[in-house]
Chain A
Amino acid sequence: MTPPPVAGSVISTVNLVKIYSNGGVPVPAVRGVDLRVEAGEFVAIMGPSGSGKSTLVHMLGGLDSRTSGEIWLDGRRADTLGESAWALLRRRKIGFVFQFFNLVATMTVADNVELPALLAGASAREARERRERLLAELGLTGRADASPAQLAGGEQQRVALARALANRPSLLLADEPTGNLDSRNTRDVLRLIGEVHRGGQTVVLVTHDARVAGMADRVISLLDGQVVDDGTVGAARRRPRGTAGDVVELRG
């Protein structure tokens, strides 16, 4: 019913719907989202609690299944993929960062970062080299042998970021990556995500914090599972007024 997505889009969704069932009562979380993210874009998805932004980004990464609609990744239909095919896709193309870091508690920082590389078939040496480089970039060289529990929250999130970047994914999905951090750590993590973006990777970031969203090229606002606003922040800064960017700035 809709035209096929334009080539060059990293993500495109067509009328994406997610309805949870809570005790037999259908609870719509995402209601018909049409979204297109181009390669190299930095998109922030904003909205209040319960607006469906986490659900949307989980569906984009295949962590959650859609109720209806289409998801296209790199010009290929992805919503019809099975769980295993999604897993393989994530391994190669998608990096995830979560609010609560989700480092594997029993593994050291080094093992946590090397895990995705090893999973994707890198040799132990290659994985180690990548890990050393990433940890050095994120200022964590000295903490390689520490266990996650020994790290502060900001450090843990940087490790999680290093893990998400271990396979140089073309798409980084971040679900409230700064939701659990103080302002200094928030700044650090956002700076790092910014660097990733400048390196050419596509970033989709979920946040309810307008300052965080301000880092992005483009801000999409969700309310009750629907896109209520979609605007380019960079352009807004250059243009005088009248876009969502201004609203965000005011809120911040």
Chain B
Amino acid sequence: MSTLRASARWIRADLRARWGQALLTVLVVAGIVTALITAATLLEDGTNPWRRLFTESRGAHVWIHTRNAPDVAALSRLPGVVQVAGPYRTAPVTLAADGRRSPVTLRGMEARPPAVAAPLVRRGRWLRPDDAGGVVVERSFAEALGLRVGAPFTVTALNGASHPLTVLGLADTADQGFYPETAPGLAWTLTSTLAGVEPALGRSESVTGLRLADGEDTLPVVHGAATLLGGQIQRMSTWREVRAAMELDNRLLGLLLALFGVAGLVAAALAVANAVGGRVLTQTCDIATLKSLGYTRGQVFGLLTAEHGGLGLLGVAAGLLCGRLAASFALDGVPVSTLSSLPPLAIAAGAATVVLVAAALPAWRGGRTPPIPAVPAAPPRGRLSRVARLALLVRLPPALVLGARDAFTRRVPALLSIAGLAVPMMMITIGLGCWATLDDFLLHPERVGQAAALTVHPGRLPAEEAARLAEADPQVAAVYPGSEVSALEPEQTRSVQARALGTSATPYPFPVVEGRMFAARGEAVAGQGLLDLLGVRIGDRVRMTVGGTPLIVRIVGRVLEPDHDGEVLSLGLDSLAAKDAVPPQFYGLVLRPGADPEEVRARLLTASDEALEVRRVVNPAERLVVIRGVIVALIVVLSLLGLANLLTASALGLRDHALDLAVLKAVGLTPRQVTATLVAGTGLLAVLGVGAGAAAGAWLVGGLIDLQGRGSGFGAGIGRAPSALTMAVAVSAAIGAALLVTVIPARRAARAQVPTTPR
């Protein structure tokens, strides 16, 4: 107790003397804890908005899309079904707003909100019986289009007739994912209004929701419904797909942050241990003095742990705060159920333990310092090794040889320094690899299945006319007819997308990474997500159902599939039944190299007198643009981490060799050579650490990204290591910065009057 005041004095004085290093420790730990907490928040189930929306709206677990209204009474008798929502009639329409045409599903509802899966009105109000011209729009869709309450909502039905409607309210729903990940957008209107917009029953479908007693147990219900309704079923979905659709981006970001955070924590532990160890060595004399004044071993241990561990704890606290801020920033506007505070606290406790242990181990050694201040703690010295003597014989600069020898006079700190630089460098390389992968997505979209920059929907024109117009454009290299249909997978528990694009003879250039491209009718390629979902391999035959018609194909290859978690079957248009394939729903347009998609789009719209619907294909990398910001922030934190290690190595090198400086000068080394000796000592560690880290990172990055790609259904084969140029720049920047950081204190030490007495 009595030592508290004395220890506080010591800590205050010590921190004042090396505030830069102390601040660095706090910043590094704070940065890493921030990354970890943000990761945990993004990965936490509670951050998935689906959970809250589903609970609040008493959502339906299973949605069944049929041509006509199904037998509700029979459906409600299925085992496990508690309540039924609908059936609601829905019709596909096109919304024209701000010159853009967006497909919308208009769903007919009653003025009285249903008991199950009721849209949650956030702005404006719900429909009233006399709101003949009113719609309530799904919130994410409205936000994407900039629609507010009171805005006009002019829709065009399939027959070409235009209907001016007005937005009455914006509502959240757990029925489908957010726009634009889930398209088309959703809007609710009165049944009577829907009948006016789309009078033809044949052009609409029926949607029925089933709320189950046990949401986990969807399979029997799905099977029951499939048996009951048979060929009527167009498409089925369960809550799991909606949940997955809502978590997409956050999850990838969270995984990235978690990876960096965990590796960063290891590196931070190394850095803290190294810094405390180095500080203990440089302060050996002061610690001995403290002991001669009456500090016990335990008190010295406590003092050092309190000081260095305290800095770490401060960093953890700052990180906890920043992590919460970052997470709330990342989740801005997303309806999130209350977050559990357990994971951040667990992370904080874990990080605090790691930091304290990292500080305590060298502090323990510090506590065992002998109390005689006069004994200088000299590094173990040895003779010049054979290699060193050989190096001197072949007239390598003596500064280099001496420095290289000095670098390893203390083995453990040297190895800690190398590892402390290697881990951040490895993570930086991995970050650069993520960056390169994103670049690759944007620069070569054809490698990720996005050869077509535009899709053209015939709209009001006949399909042949649309194809002719597209082919006539000078910048269009190829036009591939396509159709997308929902296919019920063999067990009929859920739907996947079957995408027919091109024909077996002239297939669309899908990026096949395994197996081969389909070349005949009845062959198809699939994304990793679909292979995993069906549990099939390349060469297997699968049987699906498209609108009641069986579709039997053999999967001959795996493609990179950016859409729908990779759960997409791609095949030639000729493999589909004629009713689904003729006429094609759309055309995929591959442009000539260098063509601007916007320009082509504008030209096509003009040529067709605005009758065509031309859409730009959204590159998945555009959604991930926030990852670049995260990578930059992480590189900054990791660089600070490397810097902290470097400062320790440099300080220790100076301390250990301060006495040698006089000798080196005495034997005739110039101040410049003395500086070079000191820089070479630390620089060698930096070169080894940076080199090892860069090599390990480059080796790991492709595999890690592919692992994530595989897990997300996208499929392995997307990972790119940073280019040789990027790596060269990064490595030389790191080594250059390291040498620069070392050279300043080394110069000062080389020019200073060197004490020739022990300290």
Q: Which residues of A contact B (CB under 8 A)?
A: 54, 58, 61-64, 83-84, 87-88, 90-92, 96, 98-100, 102-108, 111, 114-116, 118-121, 124, 127, 163, 175, 180
Contacts and interface: CB of A to CB of B under 8 A. Distances in A.
Interface stretch (B189-197, B223-231, B288-296, B657-665): B288-296
B294 A90 contact: yes
Nearest to B371: A63
Given A84-B297, A102-B288, A127-B5, 19 more contacts: A63-B372, A91-B293, A98-B289, A100-B374, A102-B289, A103-B289, A105-B286, A106-B14, A107-B13, A108-B13, A116-B294, A118-B2, A118-B6, A118-B9, A119-B3, A120-B294, A124-B5, A175-B374, A180-B757
Given A115-B6, A118-B9, A100 B294 contact: no
A104 B289 contact: yes
B293 A99 contact: no
B13 to A, nearest CB: 4
A155 B273 CA distance: 37
Contacts of B373: 98, 100, 102
A34 to B, nearest CB: 23
B298 interface: yes
A210 to B, nearest CB: 22
B161 interface: no
Contacts of B18: 106
A63 B371 CA distance: 5
Contacts of A118: 2-3, 5-6, 9
B-side interface size class: 20 to 34
Interface of B: 1-3, 5-6, 9-10, 13-14, 16-18, 285-286, 288-299, 370-374, 757-759
Contacts of A84: 296-298
B525 to A, nearest CB: 68
Contact of B293 (A54, A83, A163, A175): A163
B291 A87 contact: yes
B294 A87 contact: yes
Contacts of B372: 58, 63-64
A104 B286 contact: yes
Given A100-B759, A107-B13, A124-B5, A63 B298 contact: no
B81 to A, nearest CB: 74
Contacts of A83: 296-297, 371
Contacts of B757: 100, 180
A198 to B, nearest CB: 24
Contacts of B294: 87-88, 90-92, 116, 119-120
A88 B5 contact: no
Nearest to A55: B372
A90 B291 CA distance: 9
Interface centre among B292, B294, B295 (most CB of A within 10 A): B294
B293 A119 contact: yes
B16 A106 contact: yes
Nearest to B8: A118
B456 to A, nearest CB: 73
A121 B299 CA distance: 14
A69 to B, nearest CB: 19
Contacts of B2: 118-121
B371 A115 contact: no
A138 B370 CA distance: 30
Contacts of A107: 9-10, 13
